[in-house]
Amino acid sequence: MSSMALYSSTPHFPSLSPYSKTHLPIHSFLSLNPKRDLLFVSVRAIENGSGFAIVENEKKDSEPEEDPLGNGGPTAASLEDAAVKFEDPKWVSGTWDLKQFQNGGATDWDAVIDAEVKRRKWLEINPESSNNDFPVVFDTSIIPWWAWMKRFHLPEAELLNGRAAMIGFFMAYFVDSLTGVGLVDQTGNFLCKTLLFVAVSGVLLIRKNEDLDNLKKLVEETTYYDKQWQATWQEQKKE
């Protein structure tokens, strides 16, 4: 459809790449193309696991580069995106073929996670038509919970526990120096236990300065709709 050509003139580049910020005039097709090729090239490179960072491609700014694997990326002339779909040898029938992720007998879940991340990144930049003949049926819950824990939760938990321990140590020292109550006696005191609880939850909830604002906004957000509904009753109370 001709609307597809129109679509390719309004790319939806999210926060990904630094050079997408060199703003491209939306209405001019030709000047758009070299950059678009580069983006395809760079994301393809990622997808094929060659680990090219986007930063590297910045220097090849003004000329279309050949795809390193010689798959023949889109040339400057072809505006139609029909050829550019997400493809990966490990992506079979709409899901990741776990047999191809074996590493010494066991499935390398980290590699599966990486592959899915690349796929989602690709699709975010180049949304594709959903097709009934090739349905996507991948479900992230096939990756076991401990793989998620190991990769995402544990590093952050380590960080937060470290912070909590440091705060705990210095608070205990501080209280001891002020009141003379030692660490063992502090753990028996209700006030100290309360302060400990506050410190632990503080570390969990407020990790950056922005989190304070986020929490305030969250509370406001949860009650905003209620306020809108109650508006018609508020004025009755005033009358």
Q: Considering beta carbons, is residue 105 or 139 the nearer one to another protein? A: 139
Q: 127 Cβ partners below 8 Å, 6+ apart? A: 12
19 binds another protein (CB under 8 A): no
Rounded least distance, CB 222 to another protein, Å: 8
Rounded least distance, CB 189 to another protein, Å: 35
Distance CA(101)–CA(108), nearest Å, equals: 6
167 binds another protein (CB under 8 A): no
Tokens of 164: 């909590």
Q: 114 Cβ partners below 8 Å, 6+ apart? A: none
Taking CB under 8 A as the criterion, the residue among 48, 54, 100, 172 binding another protein is 54
> Which has the closest alpha carbon to 74: 114, 23, 40, 32?
40
Binding characters for another protein, 104-123, by CB under 8 A (x = yes) = ---------xx-xxxxxx-x
Q: 30 Cβ partners below 8 Å, 6+ apart? A: 76
Which residues inside 199-228 make contact with another protein, applying CB under 8 A? 221-222, 225-226, 228
Distance CA(113)–CA(96), nearest Å, equals: 10
Say if residues 38 and 65 touch (Cβ distance below 8 Å): yes
* 237 three-state secondary structure: helix
141 binds another protein (CB under 8 A): yes
Rounded least distance, CB 7 to another protein, Å: 5
Q: Considering beta carbons, is residue 68 or 135 the nearer one to another protein? A: 135
> Which has the closest alpha carbon to 91: 122, 50, 51?
122
4 binds another protein (CB under 8 A): yes
Q: Considering beta carbons, is residue 35 or 119 the nearer one to another protein? A: 119
User: Can you tell me which residue has the tokens 């999210």?
Assistant: 14
Distance CA(202)–CA(221), nearest Å, equals: 21
Binding characters for another protein, 120-139, by CB under 8 A (x = yes) = xx-xx--xxxxxx--xxxxx
Q: Considering beta carbons, is residue 190 or 233 the nearer one to another protein? A: 233
193 binds another protein (CB under 8 A): no
Taking CB under 8 A as the criterion, the residue among 2, 14, 106, 178 binding another protein is 14
Q: Considering beta carbons, is residue 118 or 192 the nearer one to another protein? A: 118
Q: 17 Cβ partners below 8 Å, 6+ apart? A: 39, 42, 54
Query: Strand 95-96 to strand 91-92: parallel, antiparallel, or no bridges (unpaired)?
Result: antiparallel
Q: Which residues bind another protein (CB under 8 A)?
A: 1, 3-4, 6-7, 10, 12, 14-16, 46, 54, 113-114, 116-121, 123-124, 127-132, 135-141, 143, 145, 148, 151-152, 221-222, 225-226, 228-229, 231-233, 235-236
